[in-house]
Structure 1
Amino acid sequence: MTTILLAIDTDVERAKEQVESVTTLPLMREDTRLIIYHVFRADGEGADARNLRSVSTAIEKLEDAGFEVEVRQSSGDVVRGILDEAERIDADIISLAGRKRSPTKKALFGSVSQDVLLKSERAVLFETTTN
């Protein structure tokens, strides 16, 4: 069984590209566990990741491709949340989507994707978008 954690943010186009990168992998649908994971930055009490357009789009596209999908969520520090959830489910791959940013913007605003890439001991599938 291959377990993939798709860390989905709120951007629909990035979610579509991220899903496409996963669905093109040579995976046996029945032997693949896909978990869509969203971290709300603020207290997520009462929030439901399934209500986000990015998450609902990802679910629809993955199910159309023949995958069963689980959805999980948390709130707080995004990087810590992704790394902790990957550990909790023993993910083989963490799937991320990010946008191209200049070195200055990275230095000023940081990058969740960069932090996960640097801190994870797991394989990371990274899809870069231009938006």
Structure 2
Amino acid sequence: MYRLLVPVDANESRAIKQAEYVASRPESGDTLEAYLLFVFGEDEEDLPDGFNRFKSADRVGSVRRAREVLEGAGVEVTILEDSGDTADDIVDAAEEYDVDELVIGGRKRSPVGKALFGSVTQTVILETDRPVVVTGGGDGVATGGGNGE
């Protein structure tokens, strides 16, 4: 089984692009397992207790859309959630679930900004030794490696 970690944020179109990448892999279907990770921000921890009980990654639109795409392609999906520092949580989840690859959603950048990844993406690429694929709303897929690549 080839395991992929797909950390998604609240942007549905970016999450769909990530899921479409996974679903398009030649080994999709029975041989792929995707872990969809949504990290709640630290500011959301200050919600009143009544709201916290409804805080669930299953309720986030981007998570639901990505799951629909993946399950439609026959990919086994597990939903994960965390809260805190997004980059650290992504790297920790990759290690905990022993994933083979990370699929991160990139953001559109200005021409100057395209020279650098976003801070979360850049931190994940530098902190993991696992392959990282960066997808997004743009025209292509950029790939990066972890330490030592």
Relative to the length of structure 2, the TM-score reads 0.78
What's the counterpart of residue 81 of structure 2? 73
Is 1:85 the counterpart of 2:85? The answer is no
Q: Which amino acid aligns with 1:83?
A: V
Q: Which amino acid aligns with 2:85?
A: D
> What are the residue-to-residue correspondences of 1:41-80 with 2, within 5 Å?
41-42=41-42, 43=45, 45-46=52-53, 47-80=55-88
CA contact (8 A) 2:23 2:69 kept: no
1:29, distance to aligned residue in structure 2 (A) = 1.9
CA RMSD of the aligned region, Å?
2.1
1:21, distance to aligned residue in structure 2 (A) = 1.0
CA contact (8 A) 2:12 2:65 kept: yes
Pick the structure with greater CA Rg.
2
Three-state SS of the structure 2 residue aligned to 1:70 is strand
Three-state SS of the structure 1 residue aligned to 2:109 is coil
Q: How many percent of aligned residue pairs carry the same amino acid?
A: 35
1:28, distance to aligned residue in structure 2 (A) = 4.3
1:41, distance to aligned residue in structure 2 (A) = 1.1
Q: Which has the higher contact order (CA 8 A, sep 6+)?
A: 1
1:27, distance to aligned residue in structure 2 (A) = 1.2
Taking the aligned partners of 1:65 and 1:104, their CA distance within structure 2 comes to 34
Paired residues, number: 128
Is 1:115 the counterpart of 2:123? The answer is yes
What's the counterpart of residue 4 of structure 2? 4
> What are the residue-to-residue correspondences of 1:118-129 with 2, within 5 Å?
118-129=126-137
Runs of 4 or more off by more than 3 Å in structure 1? 102-107
Q: Mind listing any 5+ residue stretches in structure 1 that lack a counterpart?
A: none
> What are the residue-to-residue correspondences of 1:11-30 with 2, within 5 Å?
11-30=11-30
1:31, distance to aligned residue in structure 2 (A) = 2.1
Is 1:36 the counterpart of 2:36? The answer is yes
